[in-house]
């Protein structure tokens, strides 16, 4: 959210705007936007430092934290399935004998099916999320998803065959889609400009937290050879939905969503709940939102067709491209870290320990990325982080090609490079992508854009899961670290596209972002282009 902090008259004069005594925005009946107040609010946002923003909006930070927690559910289950494939008890109950090793393994087709069940359901979820959120708001859409997830976990828990597990994953994926579509949009709308990067990057941190919980749980149970080795980790999913539903019930709705729906008085109250009332001018904050939304205003209700028209098409392609690229720049190695370590020649117990270490390092590196993205920029971190990942992916392929696959040194080299790729992914491309996704779309189309963007992620994710499982599985391609060549090639294509088409939105208000897209400013010229505070186009 972009909101205002009251500044002194002399500071406002230095910014070129004199303070004006404004009437209450919420008392206006004619719907005219208080432009002077909107300008003051935007100027105040630009002048705020990061710590000033945290002090002014402590509750906005807290509610962004709460909404980000919903990502734990998808992360937990994605990593859980990846770890189940490497879990001896799971393979004993559901696997087939591999003649080469005389051990039970989950065959390639079912590995892929189990891992794609959730994404298939999530495609349905993200398609529902846009219209549902536009109609009932972020809070109620998310609460509905949490309650549905509580029910769907029962199917997964009591499943006694792989087909039933697949159905359970498919159904669980539907609420995941709602969470992942709503969380970045909500977080970016309730915090001030200087906190947009850390607020949206919390999503990646909670993705890492989900993997840490899974890593700890599966590491603890991996030596058990009875069904409790995988039943207990499944049951632990029930820890999350109900407490989060209660917290989100008492959270404020996004004031931007309220303004979009003409509920200006409610928007003013929401702004007051997000920040310290003594430091806010609520009317000016709502005026700023109203001014931005007026730039995008049409007579039609938001719909999916609008995402593919005019400048909104470019914005949609950026969101879809950034989302989809997560599958092509090392993410699947991170998601299947334990299984990758096993196929690199690491013992099962050590592989689970390395998976847990990887997850812990990912969380630390995500927190480091808050500083980089806030002060260095989104484009810079995303573009050059992608290139660095490509270099390490190619190095992984080389290490797997030149070393003796049975030697300890070759195994350790591949495992080390796999760990580095997984960790660096969470320092550069992954967290920066959440910020870009939250900032790029038009305000009125945001629920739809984030939904369709995540849909693009899953459309690319599903074939990549098949490809990744085939490349790693000893009954498939058995490539091991040589898969680095494949992901290095796809990652390089993503790097080239991002270099030419991804603009830098650091330090830009939503009004400025709207205007720069409407002016069709080339991506690499955004940092040099000035948008005047009086511009409305």
SS percent in the chain: helix, strand, coil, step 5: 75, 0, 20
Of 438, 149, 501, 103, nearest to 141 by C-alpha is 149
Percent of the chain past pLDDT 90, that is, above it, reads: 27
User: Is the residue at 297 inside a domain?
Assistant: no
Q: Which pLDDT score is estimated for 28?
A: 42
The 10s digit of each residue's pLDDT in 275-304 is: 875 556 788 888 888 888 887 776 567 778
CB atoms within 10 A of CB 244: 22
Of 387, 526, 530, 463, nearest to 120 by C-alpha is 463
**pLDDT band at residue 314, thresholds of 50, 70 and 90?**
very high
User: Is the residue at 314 inside a domain?
Assistant: yes
Between the CA of residue 410 and those of 396, 404, 407, what are the distances in Å? 10, 6, 5
402-417 average pLDDT score: 73
Cβ–Cβ < 8 Å for 391, 453: no
User: Is the residue at 421 inside a domain?
Assistant: yes
The 10s digit of each residue's pLDDT in 358-382 is: 878 888 888 888 888 878 888 999 9
**pLDDT band at residue 89, thresholds of 50, 70 and 90?**
confident
User: Is the residue at 460 inside a domain?
Assistant: yes
| CATH code for position 402 | 1.20.1250.20
Q: What is the DSSP string of 139-194?
A: HHHHHHHHHHHHHHHHHHHH--SHHHHHHHHHHHHHHHHHHHHHHHHHHHHHS-GG
Tokens representing 471? 């490349």
User: Is the residue at 312 inside a domain?
Assistant: yes
> Is pLDDT of 274 > 70?
yes
Q: Which pLDDT score is estimated for 26?
A: 40
> Is pLDDT of 498 > 90?
yes
Distance CA 421, CA 472 (A): 16
416-438 average pLDDT score: 84
Write down the residue that tokens 């909104």 correspond to: 312
Residues 6+ apart with CB under 8 A from 191: 1, 53, 57, 60, 61, 64, 199, 274
Domain that includes residue 428, residue range: 305-536
How many domains, in total, are found in the chain?
A: 1
Global pTM reads 0.78
Q: Which pLDDT score is estimated for 210?
A: 86
The 10s digit of each residue's pLDDT in 174-191 is: 999 999 889 988 998 998
Q: What is the DSSP string of 483-503?
A: HHHHHHHHHHHHHHHHHHH--
Q: Which pLDDT score is estimated for 511?
A: 87
**pLDDT band at residue 336, thresholds of 50, 70 and 90?**
low
User: Is the residue at 295 inside a domain?
Assistant: no
How buried is 23 (Cβ within 10 angstroms: 0-12 exposed, 13-18 middle, 19+ buried)? exposed
Percent of the chain past pLDDT 70, that is, above it, reads: 87
User: Is the residue at 426 inside a domain?
Assistant: yes
């Amino acid at each position: 959210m972009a909101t205002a902090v009251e500044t002194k008259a002399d500071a406002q004069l230095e910014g070129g705007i004199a303070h004006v005594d404004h009437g209450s925005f919420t008392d206006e009946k004619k719907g005219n936007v208080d432009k002077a107040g909107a300008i003051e609010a935007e100027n105040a946002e630009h002048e705020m430092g990061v710590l000033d923003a945290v002090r002014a909006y402590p509750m906005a930070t807290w509610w962004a934290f709460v909404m980000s927690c919903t990502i734990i559910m998808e992360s937990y289950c994605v990593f859980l399935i990846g770890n189940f494939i490497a879990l001896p008890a799971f393979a004993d109950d559901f696997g087939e004998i591999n003649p080469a090793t005389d051990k039970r393994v989950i065959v390639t087709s079912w590995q892929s099916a189990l891992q794609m069940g959730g994404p298939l359901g999530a495609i349905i979820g993200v398609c529902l999320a846009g219209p549902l959120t536009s109609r009932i708001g972020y809070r109620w859409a998310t609460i509905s998803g949490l309650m549905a997830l509580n029910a769907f976990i029962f199917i997964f828990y009591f499943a006694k065959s792989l087909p039933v597990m697949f159905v359970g994953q498919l159904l669980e994926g539907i609420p995941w889609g709602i969470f992942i579509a709503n969380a970045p949009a909500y977080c970016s709308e309730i915090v001030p400009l200087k906190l947009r990067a850390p607020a949206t990057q919390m999503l990646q941190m909670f993705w890492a937290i989900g993997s840490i919980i899974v890593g700890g749980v599966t590491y603890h149970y991996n030596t058990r050879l009875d069904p409790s080795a995988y039943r207990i980790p499944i049951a632990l999913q029930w820890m999350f939905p109900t407490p989060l539903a209660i917290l989100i019930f008492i959270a404020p709705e996004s004031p931007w969503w309220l303004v979009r729906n003409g509920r200006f008085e409610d928007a003013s109250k929401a702004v007051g709940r997000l920040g310290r009332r003594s430091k806010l001018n609520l009317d000016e904050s709502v005026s700023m939102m109203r001014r931005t939304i007026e730039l995008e205003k049409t007579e039609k209700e938001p719909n999916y067709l609008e995402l593919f028209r005019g400048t909104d098409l470019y914005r949609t392609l950026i969101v879809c491209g950034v989302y989809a690229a997560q599958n092509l720049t090392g993410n699947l190695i991170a998601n299947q870290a334990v299984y990758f370590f096993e196929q690199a020649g690491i013992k099962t117990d050590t592989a689970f320990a390395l998976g847990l270490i990887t997850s812990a390092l990912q969380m630390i590196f995500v927190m480091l990325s808050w500083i980089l993205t806030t002060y260095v920029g989104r484009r810079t971190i995303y573009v050059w982080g992608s290139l660095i990942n490509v270099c390490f992916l190619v190095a992984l392929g080389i290490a797997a090609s030149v070393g003796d696959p049975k030697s300890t040194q070759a195994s350790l080299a591949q495992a080390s490079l796999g760990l580095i790729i997984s960790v660096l992914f969470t320092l550069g491309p992954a967290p920066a992508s959440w910020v870009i996704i939250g900032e790029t779309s038009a305000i009125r189309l945001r629920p739809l854009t984030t939904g369709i963007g995540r849909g693009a992620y899953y459309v690319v994710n599903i074939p990549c899961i098949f490809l990744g499982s085939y490349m790693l599985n000893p009954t498939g391609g058995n490539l091991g670290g040589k898969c680095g060549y494949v992901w290095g090639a796809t990652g390089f294509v993503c790097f080239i596209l991002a270099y030419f088409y991804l603009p830098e939105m650091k330090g830009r208000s939503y009004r400025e972002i709207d205007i720069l897209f409407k002016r069709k400013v080339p991506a690499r010229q955004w940092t040099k282009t000035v948008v005047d505070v009086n511009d409305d186009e």
